[in-house]
Amino acid sequence: MPDRAMPDWSDVPKWLLPRPTLEDREFWEGAGRGELRIQHCSSCGRYQHYARLLCSHCGKQTLAWVTASGEGTVYSFTVIRQNGVPPFDERVPFVVATVDLDEDGARLIAAMPALDPGEARIGMRVRAAFRRAGDEFGFVDFVAAG
């Protein structure tokens, strides 16, 4: 599946930079070094994103950070054609997807800047792609797999 010419999403305005909290610094730092960090629960065996103190599936406090495969499937998507907030106003149209990671129970919302909006499909296989967000952190985008 052809990706369109990668639009330049590299310029991240200061106000859009992550402001890590006690709970999610690991996620943003992981993305900065090219790893998709999520939590795994040793009680129920499921995974979750975003980071929390307790497992949202079983409620136990038995979570540990792991690096996800970065592979997933599009559960749904939309093509954003109007967004009044810079810099997104100049980026439209672009795809935003809800991605079910292969790690059961973990789902995240991600931009797919490189995907031609006409190529987006529910059920398509995708993989994580990382984009710098300042010196320490990163954003997790997705691209078509394969």
Minimum CB distance to other proteins, residue 68 (Å):
14
Binding to other proteins (CB under 8 A) within 102-141 occurs at: 107-111, 117, 122-123, 133, 139
Residues that bind Zn ion (CB under 5 A): 41, 43-44, 55, 57-58
Give one DSSP letter per residue of the chain, joined into a string: -PBPP--------GGGS----TTTHHHHHHHHTT--EEEEETTT--EESS--SS-TTT--S-EEEEE---EEEEEEEEEE----STTGGGT-SEEEEEEEESSTT-EEEEEETTB-GGG--TT-EEEEEEEEETTTEEEEEEEE--
Smallest distance, Zn ion to C-beta of residue 53, A: 12
Nearest approach in angstroms of CB 127 to other proteins is 16
Residues at the interface with other proteins (CB under 8 A):
12, 15-16, 18-19, 21, 23-24, 49-50, 75-85, 88, 91, 94, 96-98, 107-111, 117, 122-123, 133, 139
